Amino acid sequence: MKKIFYVLIVCVISNFTFTSCNSTKEPTSFEQVKIGNELDKAAKINLDDFFQIWMKNKSNSKLDQNCYELFKDENYTYFGENELKALNIKRKLYKVENSILSQNFKNYKKVDGELIRQEFWNKIVPKSDLETHKKSNCSSSSSNPKYSYELVNNEIEIILMWIFRCNGKKLIDKTYKSNYDLEKMEFKK
């Protein structure tokens, strides 16, 4: 009876996987976009939406879900992003106006969201809070750091809200804030 149940589960999952892989009528090929084809499939997004997507990029990731520049013409810069949905990867294609990028986020290629988060953690979060986290001998713990980002006057305003619980008790419930200068590529003092 168990074998039949497991076979049925495997069949259902396989069927879902194969049907979901064909769910888009015309998948976007990033290789085609890189040579200037299929540009009409790109969704136009505003600067803030692009900025939020770009800041989620990660250096070390098992599944590549980063956003990449694929192509640039006289009006737009085209970006591709892989998004994991259920058991398949969906490709998303965006375009952002060149004039908006050059005026408000010209150094985006140099911005690495993961490195900025690491630097924020190391330079902005007080050592005493990091020590509290390290030295807490918990039988159960939860750490829930949440970052938010805003692009303001050629700086990234970063807010980290961090809640750390040890054995059910909140040891840290703080908000940290700093600005990252996009010209100097460093946190402001």
Tokens 């997507």 sit on residue: 53
Q: How far is CA 171 from the centre of its chain?
A: 28
Per-residue model confidence (pLDDT) at position 69: 93
Q: Considering the entire predicted model, what is its pTM?
A: 0.77
Note the pLDDT tens digit of each residue in 28-45: 678 899 999 999 999 999
Mean predicted lDDT score pLDDT of the chain = 84
* Distance separating alpha carbons of residues 187 and 189, to the nearest angstrom: 6
Mean pLDDT of 52-66: 76
Listed in sequence order, the residues at least 6 apart from 66 whose beta carbon sits closer than 8 Å to its beta carbon are: 56, 57, 58, 81, 82
| 2 pLDDT more than 60 | no
